[in-house]
Amino acid sequence: MSSRKTIALVTGANKGIGFGIVRALCKEFGERGVVYLASRDEGRGEKAVQELKGEGLNPRCIQLDICNNDHISKVADYFRDTYGGLDILVNNAGIAFKAAATEPDSIQAPVTVETNVFATLRLCRALIPLIRSHGRVVTVASQAGSSIYGRLGPDLQKRFKTVTSEQGVIDLMNEFISAAKEEKKKELGWGSSNYGVSKLGVIALTRIQGQDIIKDSSREDILINSCCPGYVDTDMSSHKGPLTIDQGAVTPVYLALLPGGCSHQGLFFYQKAVKDFW
- Residue 2: its pLDDT value, please? 53
Full 3-state SS string of the chain:
CCCCCEEEEECCCCCHHHHHHHHHHHHHHHHHEEEEEEECCHHHHHHHHHHHHCCCCCCEEEECCCCCHHHHHHHHHHHHHHHCCEEEEEECCCCCCCCCCCCCHHHHHHHHHHHHHHHHHHHHHHHHHHEEEEEEEEEECCHHHHHHHCCCCHHHHHHHHHCCCHHHHHHHHHHHHHHHHCCCCCCCCCCCCHHHHHHHHHHHHHHHHHHHHHCCCCCCCCEEEEEECCCECCCCCCCCCCECHHHHCHHHHHHHCCCCCCCCCCCEEECCEECCCC
Which amino acid, one-letter code, is at 92?
A: N
Q: Average pLDDT by consecutive 10-residue portion of the chain (278 residues)?
A: 85 98 98 98 98 98 99 99 99 95 97 99 99 99 97 98 99 99 97 98 99 96 98 78 93 98 97 97
Q: Which phi-psi region, left, alpha or beta, contains residue 84 (left: φ > 0; alpha: ψ -120 to 50)?
A: left
Q: Would you say domain 6-98+119-150+195-274 falls under CATH 3.40.50.720?
A: yes
36, 149, 195, 254: the catalytic one is 195
To the query of whether residue 195 is one of the catalytic residues in this protein, the response is yes
- Residue 237: its pLDDT value, please? 66
Which amino acid, one-letter code, is at 213?
A: I
